[in-house]
Amino acid sequence: MGIIEKMRLDGKKGFVTGGARGIGKCTATAFAEAGADIAIVDLDIDEATKTANEIAKATGRKVIAIKCDVTNEDDVKAMVDKVVAELGGLNFCHANAGICINAPADEMTYAQWLKVINVNLNSVFLTDTIAGKYMLAHGGGSIINTASMSAHIVNVPQPQCAYNASKAGVIQLTKSLAVEWAKRGVRVNSISPGYIATDLIKASEFLKPLIAKWEELSPTGRLGTPEELESICVYLAGDTSTFTTGADFGLDGAFTCF
């Protein structure tokens, strides 16, 4: 069997949080194209359902939509149960849901800080440990977390201390789980994208005007596309990456060179 065949995900089952749009929609599509059955997990069930139908039609895989607030423990438990019941198991997941609130630290409210830490970091603890418990008890699995280059640098000119701190936390959480579970068959890795042209940026009145500045700061002179994150996630979800755990992958066009 050639390397491309070995990288396929035929027979595997997985879910993607924040899968309705943007980066999550893209990786969910790639997982299905590689042969996996997928659950699109999102707060926005209408968009998640649209995305699930679109991917199922394009790939012929089983793709379901599940409404879930990833900051709610009961929701995440029910979501993992539903994935297992409806797809017939769980081999990998992509904990990807996230938000950004831009405010100077001396003006940021504690409620804003908590919101970002809750959606970006606490949710990854919930998703990883609840999915991880299933995987530990059922032959192993692979967990991919979306961190950010903001875990490694302080972006300018926009202020985003909570976002930066939350994503740095995602990387240390990833590494901690990877070490704890290394002998037990569950791998945990993260991706750290640079600026990626999704609605998180394009639909934000605050961030959109900064695109030209970021392009100027970027060695490539451009933003990335979500499609440019797909192949690494398919690799991490599959069986050619069995010695890859506790790693963080910079996907930022040499913005940070960490």
Active site residues: 148, 163, 167
CA distances, 96 to each of 5, 57, 106, 192, 250 (Å): 26, 23, 28, 11, 15
Question: For ligand NAD, which is the closer residue by CB, 195 or 235?
Answer: 195
Shortest distance in whole angstroms from residue 44 CB to ligand NAD: 4
Residues 6 or more apart in contact with residue 42 via CB below 8 angstroms: 17, 18, 19, 20, 21, 24, 48, 65, 66, 67, 68, 97
Kind and range of the H or E run holding 6: helix 3-6
Nearer to ligand NAD, 132 or 226 (CB): 226
Query: Which CB, 32 or 119, lies closer to ligand NAD?
Result: 119
Q: Are the C-beta atoms of residues 9 and 35 closer than 8 Å to each other?
A: yes
Give the shortest CB-58-to-ligand NAD separation in angstroms. 19
The residue written with tokens 């749009």 in the block is: 21
Binding interface with ligand NAD (CB under 6 A) = 17-18, 20-24, 42-44, 68-71, 96-99, 119, 146, 148, 193, 195-196, 198-201
Q: Could you tell me the two tokens for 29?
A: 């599509």
**Burial of 242: CB neighbours in 10 Å, binned 0-12, 13-18, 19+:** exposed
Instruction: State which residue, 113 or 240, has the beta carbon closest to ligand NAD.
Output: 113
| Spatial CA neighbour of 64 closest among 24, 28, 27 | 28
